[in-house]
Structure 1
Amino acid sequence: MTMFDDRTDAGEQLAAHLERRGLEADIVLGIPRGALPVARPVADALDADLDVVVARKMGAPRNPELAIGAVASDGSVWHNDALIDRLGVSEDYLEEVRTKEAENAREKATRYRDGAELPSLEGKRVVVVDDGVATGATAMACLRQVRDADAAFVALAVPVGSPRSIDDLEAEADEVIALETPPSFRAVGQFYQTFGQVSDEEAIDYLQTEP
């Protein structure tokens, strides 16, 4: 069920769709690392600046791959309350992992911007882009950071996403645009012909490419 050749193809298809919708943006924020090849064509098509918004998954005790939430570089946090309750995760653990991952997110954001701060989002129209949405945890934290920064309009745009996660994310954004929400969704990579890892260096290159 491949839909996209690679992330650049997905970004070009997403950009064309957003143009047809007449979506306007002052700034496009990609979620590193995999979103940057998708976000570059979107920013170019919308004649918007491109930057990053960074969040880190908060892993469960003894199972770090299981997301019990996510935290953005400014400390904005989203918790999967149902999962936290089911696993009996303590408040102390939540605070410990939140603090650690928020610092990791800050360090990554600083590295991507070469020490600069995120431009002011106050009153801006912001489009957050990812290469796809599985659990939606990191996207949720990123949207909260943008909302907390007093953006006037916040949209999430992705090539593909889990129908359930896309529904959940609609509560966090003014608009959520997904080209495809297949009922057979299992993982983002199943919808790409090529879905290799994107290195930090490659991702940063997309930020430095002028339209």
Structure 2
Amino acid sequence: MQGPEFQDRFMAGRVLARYLSHHAHRPETQVLALPRGGVPVGYEVARALDAPLDVFVVRKLGAPGHEELAMGAIATGGTRVLNPEVLRELRISREQLDAVARREALELTRRESSYRSGRPPLEVQGRDVILVDDGLATGSTMRAAVGALHKQRPAHIIVAVPVAPAETCDEVKALADEVVCARTPEPFYAVGLWYRDFEQTSDAEVQELLERRAQELASPRHLHDASAPLA
């Protein structure tokens, strides 16, 4: 097996941004990162493309008694994506589903409020949305995110990750308008193996990076920097 591809998530974001240069300096482009690990990657992508950055929070709805099994997911914007097969197989009632969804919605709201520090979420309807994470393994979280994002009616959904198995990238291509997987090593094993530094991203780091990107866009230097070519 070859060594790690990336020093850390920031380096991975800079590499990934090169594959997305055709989206640079376009007012319709937005970057949504899956927290927490996707945010450092998304920050570098947003900087390189001259785009705003926000989080897209996804919470798994674990089946009662089988919490590791996803019966669905909820995401930013209050959207809900369900897995009918699991609901049928485990005979999950509407009351059970709603109880789990309410609990996860509280945590989703708490995280969004904490991450954004009072800033409103980006308006994605009619925009080209680049959905970023630090990598894909099975792709289940990203598939839930894409399904939820579709309900908010963006113009296009672009899934972008630094590293993933080729077969997972192919599966996601059926759901999104564009899929960019910068590296597809074989054998794959796990996302973290392709990073030298894969320490967990903290809530505080997510807050700081979102705040930093918002300040960069509001800076008087932004208009000058926005005209610079993508490296």
The bucket for the TM-score relative to the shorter chain is: 0.7 to 0.9
Q: What does residue 148 of structure 1 align with?
A: 151
Q: Determine whether 1:74 maps to 2:81.
A: no
2:9 is the counterpart of 1:4: no
What displacement does 1:64 show? 2.7
Q: Which has the larger radius of gyration?
A: 2
Counterpart check, 1:58 vs 2:70: no
Amino acid at match of 2:9: R
How far is the alpha carbon of 1:15 from its aligned partner?
A: 0.9
Give TM-score scaled by structure 2 length: 0.79
User: Which secondary structure does the structure 2 equivalent of 1:74 belong to?
Assistant: coil
**Residue type at the aligned position of 1:12:** R
Contact 1:160/1:180 (<8 A) preserved: yes
Say whether 1:23 aligns with 2:26: no
Q: CA RMSD in A?
A: 2.3
Is the CA contact (8 Å cut-off) linking 2:117 and 2:207 kept in structure 1? no
Say if 1:107 and 1:171 are closer, same or farther in 2 by CA, change over 3 A: farther
Is 1:128 the equivalent of 2:137? no
Amino acid paired to 2:43: R
| Structure 1 CA distance for aligned equivalents of residues 10 and 195 of structure 2 | 11
* Structure 1 pair 90–111 and aligned structure 2 pair: CA distance change class (3 A): same
Equivalent-residue separation in structure 1 for 2:88 and 2:166 (angstroms): 23
Cα distance in 2 for residues equivalent to 1:69 and 1:135: 15
Aligned equivalents of 2:191 and 2:79: distance in 1? 24
Cα distance change on mapping 1:133 and 1:81 into 2, 3 Å:
farther
Task: Report the Cα distance in structure 1 between the residues aligned to 2:70 and 2:135, rounded to whole angstroms.
Answer: 16
Relative to 1, partners in 2 of residues 1:80 and 1:186: Cα closer, same or farther, differing over 3 Å? farther
- TM-score of the superposed pair, with normalisation by structure 1: 0.86
Range with greater deviation from structure 2 (105-114 or 93-102): 93-102
Is the 2:33–2:42 Cα contact (8 Å) retained in structure 1? Answer: yes
> CA–CA distance in 2 between the matches of 1:93 and 1:165?
31
Residue 160 of structure 1 deviates from its aligned partner by 1.4
Letter matched to residue 9 of structure 1: M
Structure 1: which 5+ runs fail to align? none
Q: Secondary structure at the match of 1:209?
A: helix
Q: CA deviation at 1:157?
A: 0.5
Q: Residue 133 of structure 2 contacts residue 160 of structure 2 at CA under 8 Å; is this kept in 1?
A: yes
Cα distance between partner residues in 1 of 2:206 and 2:17: 18
Write the mapping of 1:93-132 to structure 2, written as runs, cut at 5 A. 93-132=96-135
Q: Which of these residues, 201, 212, 216, is aligned with residue 198 of structure 1?
A: 201
SS state at 2:181 partner: strand
**Which residue does 1:177 correspond to in 2?**
180
The runs of at least 4 consecutive aligned structure 1 residues that moved more than 6 Å come to: none
Point out where structure 2 has 5 or more consecutive residues left out of the alignment: 217-231
